[in-house]
Structures are given as C-alpha cells and as structure tokens.
A and B are shown apart, each in its own frame.
Chain A
Amino acid sequence: DTAVSQTPKYLVTQMGNDKSIKCEQNLGHDTMYWYKQDSKKFLKIMFSYNNKELIINETVPNRFSPKSPDKAHLNLHINSLELGDSAVYFCASSQGASGGDEKLFFGSGTQLSVL
C-alpha cells in the first residue's frame, strides 16, 4: 500500500479554472504538508497541518485553500488558476510536529500545467 498517495498525478487545465488535488496518508501520522516545486526544482513549503489544524501558512495567495477533513487527509483547492501556478505539488506527512528528526514521507507529486 502506498504510504502517501495524491491524486491526480497530472493535471492540465485552463487559466481561470478551479481545481483540487487530494492527498491521503495511511501511516497514522499527525502532521501533513503541501510543498510546491517550481520549474527550477526549488521546493518550498506552502502549508502544514497538525491533527487537522493549520500550523504553518507561508506567503501563499488566497486562491490556495487547504482542507483537512481528518488527520489522514489534506486536500489542496486552487481557485482562478494562473500560469504561474504551474508546478509540481507534493504532499507529505510526518509523525509529529515537534520539530524533531521525524522523516517526512512524500507523495509522488502532482504535476499541474496551466495553459
């Protein structure tokens, strides 16, 4: 079974559309994250949730809204997509949020292309 699964793997859409990316982890972890990897491969945190509560919210446009219905799921909804949103989005999870050396488990990424 895949530890962190995100769907879809590829998403091609038009500017202005609204889209969602889903993420689920079956590891029993308390903390989940969304990272964005741009065209130059740079990875940056977007959001972090611990047990359904938002704990990290980097400077991300309001068009991006994470939703955590339970601690095993963290979905990312994007409104009014722009060309600059094209990137690979990674979901990840870890056991806790204590800042320890817990390993982050990453999903396989969603490549979003906005045309």
Chain B
Amino acid sequence: AQTVTQSQPEMSVQEAETVTLSCTYDTSESDYYLFWYKQPPSRQMILVIRQEAYKQQNATENRFSVNFQKAAKSFSLKISDSQLGDAAMYFCAYRSTQGGSEKLVFGKGTKLTVNP
C-alpha cells in the first residue's frame, strides 16, 4: 500500500519570503499522480498543484512550484512571495492509476503560519 509522509507538522514563514514544504511517498508503481491540497481555517479543501509521475518537468502554478524527484520519491512544495492568505494546512497526496485504487492517499499535513 502506498504511504505519504510529511515530516514537518508545522512551518512558519515571513510574509514575502519563500518556504518549502516536504513530502515523501512510498510506492512500487511507476505511473501515478501527486497533489498538494490547501485547507484554510474555512475547512475547504483546495487543489494547489498536481504532478504526473511520467513528466520530468516540475509543475508550477503562479507562486507555487514543486520539486519532484521520482527516484528519491520526493515531492516538495515551494511557495514564493508568501502571502497572509497562504496560511493553512497543506496536504500532500498520492493517487494510483491502477483500477480500483484510485483513491487519494494523504499525508498528515503541515500547518503553515505566515508572519506579517
């Protein structure tokens, strides 16, 4: 079974600075998808960014980018120019491509605080 590990329960960053959230995963599959979700205090789950495992190019979405290292099974999220609205729980998630296993497997989350 796949597992996702986020080793940083909490992180903090100064407004306008850059922060990197770590994520590692364990799988024997060669094709899969990885996601970062954000959960602000409103509780809503919001997709931040996604990456296909077969693509070597790292995904980017505005101020959000990932460092995907397939061999190391690492998928970190970099937030540039941090804003107060970035404060939230961030969840790394893995999705299999195998039939019957399409669920998202989540890490335990990292709570990000943005200091003004």
Contacts and interface: CB of A to CB of B under 8 A. Distances in A.
Interface in B1-60: 33, 39, 42-45, 47, 50, 52
Contacts of A56: 100-103
Interface residues of A, number: 27
| Interface residues on chain B, size class | 20 to 34
Contacts of B39: 41
A99 interface: yes
B99 interface: yes
Contacts of A109: 43-44
Contact of B104 (A40, A55, A104, A111): A104
Nearest to A33: B103
A24 B94 CA distance: 25
Contact of B45 (A42, A99, A106): A106
26 contacts: A40-B108, A41-B108, A41-B109, A42-B106, A43-B104, A43-B106, A44-B106, A45-B104, A45-B105, A48-B102, A48-B103, A55-B102, A56-B101, A56-B103, A98-B97, A98-B99, A99-B97, A99-B99, A101-B50, A101-B95, A103-B47, A103-B50, A104-B45, A106-B44, A109-B44, A111-B43
Given A90-B45, A98-B102, A43 B91 contact: yes
